[in-house]
Chains A and B, each alone.
Chain A
Amino acid sequence: MSDVVMPQMGESIVEGTLTKWLKKVGDKVERDEPLFEISTDKVDTEIPSPVAGTLTEILVQEGAVVAINTVVARVGDGAAPQAPAPVVEAAPAPEAPVAPVAPPPPPAPAEVVAEPAPAPAAVVVEEDDASSPVSPLVRRMARENNVDLKLVRGTGAGNRITKQDVENFLSAKQAPAPAAAPVAAPPAVAAPAPAAAASGPLPRVEPAKVRVEPMSMMRQKIAEHMVHSKQTSAHVTTVHRVDMTKIAKVRAKVKEEFQQRYGYGLTFLPFIARAVAEALRTYPIFNSSIEGTNVLYHSEVNIGIAVALENGLIVPVIHQADEKNVVGLQRSIVDLAARARAKQLKPNEVQGGTFSITNFGSFGSLFATPVINQPQVAILGVGAVEKMPVVIDDAIAIRSMAHLALTFDHRLIDGALADQFCQKVKAALENWSDQIL
């Protein structure tokens, strides 16, 4: 059984994305036959198998980013996976660090022939507990120092063995018996930690306190996008309180008829989108983006609407939103949201947005400070619409109120202008004619 590692493809390269497996588990591979592909910086590289045999295990899935020297697969010696794994007796003389090579019975050449794969023969690499992967660094340290990782207690996340753990193990080992030959290594393949190694630290027994789970591709993209935005724009959020009573009345009046005629309800969101589209036409700088030292003013008003998904978020775009009325906007919102959740959006429906709206009010939030959807320069967050007492002409009245939070890029837009924009939206909403939908 030979490990296949992510090869070093140049001094500057520490990791790459495994883009494609060219073989499946169970497939036969010839030595030097392409086994998988990795991608770094627009270079795709075919990685050949270091040995001939059968691909018995794929340890890294397509799409994963892999550090060099990570074991990505195992290639067995042709025959079906055999139960009795050979025992590797390590009896290393201290001066002879060359690994004791005792390969599996059929003399599969264990030396690495693939040019791009510099890692030495895989025989000394310990089998890891699959639940606690070990970093390439730790693996190398262990190999170089002839340390059996099963004897090292991990203190990292999920009981992973860290570099420090290996160092501690080494110094602990040296202290009591400096001249002693290393403890004979246990069987190289899957066996419980030997009880004999009493002098070393105890093998770990307690269950992991941390569960390690890779992030989905979408999660990684969102993470990247959010941090990129925070690093790019100078985020400032201004909050305005808006009286939505008139809109609430319009809604109450037409709600049932609307539902009957169109088959979906009428929410506050299309009114807000309509008011925003108007304000974007009045203040086109909110419908722009920054490129270098230029401001790009977009002639189309394309409003993105953030849609929460089960495990993420996507912002489909209502193109030319300024040309739609409330009914049309509601239809677009319902349609885009439904297809976003069904993963049926077309590419152009998530592209070309020039401004975004996020409706966290539907989850009960009063107001929040949304993150700008790059390369846009502003985003409006809509808080919950709630009845509350407000003072009007020195009298207390009950009104339907909402907080609108506008996050803007202070590189381009100053606070006074942002507040004028908000006032424009507010005025449109508060003075809505009940005749207009």
Chain B
Amino acid sequence: MRKVEVRELGRLSYADAYARQTALSGERKQGLIPDQLLLVEHPHVLTLGRNGHKENVLLSAERLAELGIEFFESNRGGDITYHGPGQIVGYPIIDLREWKRDVVAYVRGIEEVVIATLRRFGIEGNRDPGATGVWTPQGKICAIGVHISRWVSTHGFALNWTTDLDYFRHIVPCGLARPVTSMEQLGVRVERAAVHQALVEEFARVFNYELAPVCA
């Protein structure tokens, strides 16, 4: 069985989380550590993917600063997205040479993890063939954007748990003018820890892991 280390890092700024990911992915490439799954929560931040369009940010830099929202241009795939409190952000750092060697299959795998997690809480999540992510009839519940370097992944997914969805009004999420939703908005009130646990278990199932002890 392959091994994964799960790190629950709590509240962490986007920049710090990115630095952490970079360091871990370097170690992963050298084979110094097993695959990783980081779970974090970010303060308010807008991040723009490599293929993103700045015009999908609907506020000026000054206005963003006033609202206390940071802005980052990131090297993941995808367009603009928002992260903030109440969102569960997962960064798997895994070597895809040991799992299918297929970057699109990887994204479908992440979707599967989230869909299976939501199902445990009675939420029916779906894929949209044209739009990566996890969708419900009420809107997008999970955004996905990934970067691969030498088959090692960084970045990942952002699941809206109790996210304040008002913040999405400042952007056109992923360049798609479609609504967003959260677990809370769909009437599911659960502890963050319960969602973490479900995510980790489904992640292990989909990517075929034996869970290593949780580290911080």
Contacts and interface: CB of A to CB of B under 8 A. Distances in A.
A and B together in one complex: yes
Interface of A: 9-13, 17, 19-20, 32, 34, 37, 39-46, 48, 115-116, 292, 346-348, 351-352
A16 to B, nearest CB: 9
10 contacts: A10-B101, A10-B102, A10-B104, A13-B102, A13-B104, A42-B77, A43-B107, A45-B147, A115-B150, A347-B56
Nearest to A46: B149
Contact of B149 (A13, A40, A45, A352): A45
A110 B79 CA distance: 37
Most buried by A among B144, B146, B147, B148: B148
Contacts of B172: 347, 351
Most buried by B among A37, A41, A115: A41
Contacts of A42: 49, 77-78, 107, 132-133, 144-146
B16 interface: no
Nearest to A116: B151
A45 B102 contact: no
B102 A19 contact: no
B102 A11 contact: yes
Nearest to B143: A42
A377 to B, nearest CB: 16
Contacts of A347: 53, 55-56, 58, 172
Interface in B13-55: 49-51, 53, 55
A44 B49 contact: yes
Contact of A44 (B77, B97, B101, B132): B77
Interface residues of B, number: 33
B185 interface: no
Contacts of A9: 101-104, 148
Contact of B97 (A32, A46, A115, A348): A115
A43 B56 contact: no
A302 to B, nearest CB: 12
B106 A46 contact: no
B102 to A, nearest CB: 3
A278 B86 CA distance: 44
Interface in B78-119: 78, 97, 100-107
A127 B1 CA distance: 46
Contacts of B49: 42, 44
Contacts of B78: 42
Nearest to A17: B51
B148 A39 contact: no
Contacts of B50: 19-20, 37, 39, 44
Given A116-B150, A116-B151, A348-B58, A44 B76 contact: yes
Given A12-B104, A13-B103, A39-B50, A44 B137 contact: no
